[in-house]
Amino acid sequence: MSSFLQIKIYRGKFIAYTIFVVSIGLTLGALTCAVLLYQWIENARSEAVSAFARTESELQYDADRIEAYMQRIYSNNRLMTDVRYFLGNGAEGYLTGRLQNSHYNEPLVSFPEDMKAFLYSSVQGDITQISLHAESRGNVVRFDGNGNDSFLFCLPNTDETFRETIQKGFVYRKKLSDPNQISRQIGEFRFLVSSDQLFSKVRSYKLDIAAAVSASGEVYMISGEDRDTEELALQAAADRQNSGYLSKGGLNSIFFMTFSSTKFDYQFVVLVDLPSLMRQNAGIIGIVFLIVLMAMISVLLLIVYNLRDDARFLKRIIHSIKRVKTADFTSNSPARYKRNEYGMIARELDDMVLQLDKHIRTEYLLKLKQQETEMKALQHQINPHFLYNTLEAIRSTALVNRDVNTADAIATLGALYRDIVKKENIISIGSELELLQKYLKIMELKYPGRFYYQLNVDQALLPISTVKFWMQPLAENFFVHGFNPGNEFNLLVVNGWETDERYVLEFVDNGKWIPEERLNEVRSNLISHDDAPVRSIGLHNVYTRLHFFYGEVFSMEIDNNEEAGVKITVMIAKG
C-alpha cells in the first residue's frame, strides 16, 4: 500500500476515492432505509384504512338493522301498541297496561323481548342500550356482555345515562311517529352503539396507536393509551391534512393518519411512532448498513489494488524516460507485473514519443472518431433489444415462481415500450387505443379490484390517422387528480362514435370533480398560446399537438359529470 501513497497524485486520488465511496455508501444506505421506512409506513396506512373501513361497515350495518327494526314496529300494530305502553309508563304501569289490554286468544307481545331478539343477537352486542323518550323523560333497556337485559324507567332526559360521549359510544336517533297521523311525533328512540364493542373488532389490526376523536375534542383510545398519545391524537385531528408528521421533541417524530367518518361526527386517528418503528426493525436496518459497509470496503480494496499497479507502472515509465534522456540503451530487466505490456511500454517509450504526433494528426483521430460513431450507432440498436430481453427474462422467472400478476405486468410493460419505440409518430386511432389499453392494463394490475376500464369505440374511428401517445396523458390525468385509492370502484370509460358532421371521442371517469374555479382556469389555459408555464401542462400539450395535427377541425371540451368525475371530449369535424 505504501508504494502508491508515496506518490502525491495517487495519494490524492486515494483520499478523493475514499471520500466519494463513503459518501455514496452512506447516501445509498440512507436512501434504502428511507425506502424501507416508507414501505413500513405504507403497510401501517393499509392497516389503518382496513380498520377504518371495518368500523364504518359495522356502523352502517347497525344503521341498517335499526332501520329494519323501525319498519318492523310500524308494520306490527300489536308491537306498536306495546311500544306506546313502554313509552308512557313506569315499570308497573307498563306491565299493568299491557295485561289489561291483552286478549286471551292472542299471545302477549313484548317490545323489549322482540327488540332483544331482533337487534342484540343480530349485531353481536354492538347495541348495548336502547332508550325510548317522551318529552321530558325516558325509559331504558340495557344489555350486558352476555345479552342479559335490565331496565330503567322514568329517567329525566337530562340524566347522566343519556349524555352522549364518545367514551360511551355513538347514538342513532329515530323519531317514533303516530302510525295514524305520521306527522305527529309521539316519542324518540335512541340506540347506543358501544365504543368498547365497536372498536374491539379493530384491535386485531396492526395499529401502533389508534384513537377516535369526536368533534368536541373527546378522545377514545383504541390502542396505545396514555396522556401523551391523547394529546397527539387531538393534534392530528385538528390538522387539516389527512396525514403528516408531528414532533415529540428532538428527533422523535410521529406519523399520523386521519379518516373522517361519514356516519358520525368523529375522526379515526392512527399514529405511528417512527423511533419505535425503527427499533422494531433494527435487525433489517443493521443488515442494510452491514451490506453497505462491506460494499464500501470491497470497492476501496479494489481501488487500492488498481492504484498500486498504476503506481508501479508510473515508476517504470519515469525510469524509462530517465534512461532515454541519459542515452542509456542497455538492456533492462523486465518489470514484474501481471501483464508484460508494462515492461513493453517502458522499453518502447522513446519510439512511441517520436511516432505519436504523426499518428494523432493523421489516422488515429479519424479512426477513433469513426469507431466512436459506429459504437454509438450499435449501442442505440442494442439498448432496446437488451431491455426487451431483460424484461422477458424477468417475466420467465416470475412465471417459474408462479407469480402470474408480475409476469403479466412485465409483459404488458415490454409490449408498451416496444410499441412506443417502433411505431411511427403518425398512427391510427386504433393503434393509439392499443397503446392506451396496455397502459390501462398496467394500472389495473397496480390497483387490483379497485380500477376498471371500458373501451367502447366504433369501428369507423379506428382507421383515422392521429399523433402517437396522446390518450395516455388523459388517462394519467385521472390517476393523478381524480383516482381514489380508497374507493372500491374506480372506472375509466372511453367512448367513440361517428355522427353526420364529426367524429367524437369521450374520456369519462367516476373520480373527483374539478372545482369550478379551477375548471375555468384549465379551460382558459388549454387554448392559451402563451409559452409561460401552466399548471395543466399535460392537457395543454395534448391540446397543442392535436390542434397542430388536425387544425381548425379539432376541438376539446372538459366538464364535470353530474354524479362524479370528469369528462373530456375530443371532436374532429369531417372535412
Strand spans (E) along 39-160: 127-133, 137-143, 149-156
Tell me how far apart the alpha carbons of residues 258 and 244 are, in angstroms, rounded to a whole number: 9
Mean of pLDDT values over 310-322: 69
With beta carbons less than 8 A apart as the criterion, state whether 234 and 225 touch: no
Task: State the DSSP code for 331.
Answer: -
**Report field, pTM of the whole predicted structure over 0.75:** no
Tell me how far apart the alpha carbons of residues 145 and 504 are, in angstroms, rounded to a whole number: 63
At 199, list the grid cell: 372498536
- What pLDDT, in 10s, does the model give residues 229-266? 888 888 888 888 888 888 877 667 889 999 998 888 89
pLDDT at 573: 92
Residue 337 pLDDT greater than 60, yes or no: no
Residue 127: strand pairing partners: 193
Mean of pLDDT values over 287-308: 86
Mean of pLDDT values over 74-83: 86
pLDDT at 479: 86
Nearest to 193 by CA among 165, 158, 155, 157: 165
DSSP symbols for 218-264:
-EEEEES-SHHHHHHHHHHHHSSSSEEEEEEETTEEEEEEEEE-SSS
Which residues, in sequence order, are CB contacts of 248 under 8 Å at separation 6+?
A: 228, 232, 254
- Sheet containing 252-260: which strands, arranged edge to edge? 219-223, 209-214, 266-273, 252-260, 243-249
393 pLDDT band (50/70/90 cuts)? Answer: low
With beta carbons less than 8 A apart as the criterion, state whether 428 and 463 touch: yes
In the block, cell 375522526 appears at: 267
Phi then psi for residue 486, to 5 deg, are -80, -15
Residue 369 pLDDT greater than 90, yes or no: no
Residue 376 pLDDT greater than 90, yes or no: no
Residue 464 pLDDT greater than 90, yes or no: yes
Residue 128: strand pairing partners: none
CATH of 443-573 given 3.50.50.60, 3.40.50.620, 3.30.565.10, 3.40.50.2300: 3.30.565.10
Cα distances (angstroms) measured from residue 302 to each of 18, 305, 310, 342: 11, 5, 12, 20
Determine how β-strand 490-498 pairs with β-strand 451-457: parallel
Residue 377 pLDDT greater than 50, yes or no: no
**Percentages (nearest 5) of helix, strand, coil residues in the chain:** 55, 20, 25
383 pLDDT band (50/70/90 cuts)? Answer: very low
Nearest to 170 by CA among 298, 263, 291: 263
Residue 31 pLDDT greater than 70, yes or no: yes
With beta carbons less than 8 A apart as the criterion, state whether 446 and 476 touch: no
**Percentage of the chain exceeding pLDDT 70:** 74
Tell me how far apart the alpha carbons of residues 571 and 236 are, in angstroms, rounded to a whole number: 47
For the four alpha carbons of 162, 168, 171 and 176, in that order, the dihedral sign comes to negative
With beta carbons less than 8 A apart as the criterion, state whether 227 and 216 touch: no
In the block, cell 437488451 appears at: 386
224 pLDDT band (50/70/90 cuts)? Answer: confident
At 167, list the grid cell: 367514551
pLDDT at 189: 92
Parts of the chain belonging to CATH 3.30.565.10: 443-573
- What pLDDT, in 10s, does the model give residues 417-460? 666 655 677 889 999 998 899 888 888 877 888 899 999 999 99
Residue-averaged pLDDT of the chain = 79
- What pLDDT, in 10s, does the model give residues 400-412? 666 666 666 666 6
Residue 141 pLDDT greater than 70, yes or no: yes
Which residues, in sequence order, are CB contacts of 273 under 8 Å at separation 6+?
A: 208, 209, 252, 254
Rg (CA), the chain: 38
Q: Give the chain's length.
A: 575
- Other Cβ atoms closer than 10 A to 407: 18
Tell me how far apart the alpha carbons of residues 300 and 306 are, in angstroms, rounded to a whole number: 10
325 pLDDT band (50/70/90 cuts)? Answer: low
At 164, list the grid cell: 352522549
563 pLDDT band (50/70/90 cuts)? Answer: confident
At 510, list the grid cell: 367516476
Residue 367 pLDDT greater than 50, yes or no: no
Three-state DSSP at 198 gives helix
Three-point CA angle 23, 29, 33, nearest 5° = 145
For residues 76 and 124, which has the higher predicted lDDT (pLDDT)? 76
Residue 415 pLDDT greater than 80, yes or no: no
- What pLDDT, in 10s, does the model give residues 157-167? 888 888 989 99
**Percentage of the chain exceeding pLDDT 90:** 19
Mean of pLDDT values over 208-232: 85
pLDDT at 381: 38
